[in-house]
Structure 1
Amino acid sequence: MAEPSEHLTTTEARAGATPHVTRVVLGVGLLLVIAIFAVILLVAG
């Protein structure tokens, strides 16, 4: 016979908490790209 399935919460399934580091890294990266393009436009213009 099949064993009953175990229902886990999202945090239990991930075995821990999920900090929002990815959002911070993407945000900082986006700001850096915009700043670099602005510098390139100012220097080349």
Structure 2
Amino acid sequence: MADPNEPVHVTTTEARAGATPGVTRYVLGVSLVLVIAIFAFLILR
């Protein structure tokens, strides 16, 4: 039986339980540019 007070040591990949392809930064960047463009269009029209 494992001791409940014993700390669990796992690697970053095991804790994440998956791969991180890096697409998120592109989605965030494109979304930010689109929101700025839409707000600029609405303000300047």
Fold in common (TM above 0.5): yes
Would you identify which runs of 4 or more consecutive aligned residues in structure 1 move more than 6 Å?
none
The TM-score with structure 1 as length reference comes to: 0.57
Q: How does 1:7-18 map to 2 (within 5 A)?
A: 9-11=11-13, 17-18=19-20
Find the aligned partners of 1:11 and 1:20 in 2 and give their Cα distance: 14
* Structure 2: gaps spanning 5 or more residues: 3-8
* Structure 1: gaps spanning 5 or more residues: none
Residue in 1 aligned with 2:23? 21
Residue in 1 aligned with 2:5? none
Stretch deviating more after TM superposition (8-17 or 26-35)? 8-17
**Greater helix fraction, Structure 1 or Structure 2:** 1
Q: Percent identity?
A: 77
Equivalent residue of 1:20, what SS? coil
**Root mean square deviation of aligned Cα:** 2.5
Find the aligned partners of 1:16 and 1:33 in 2 and give their Cα distance: 30
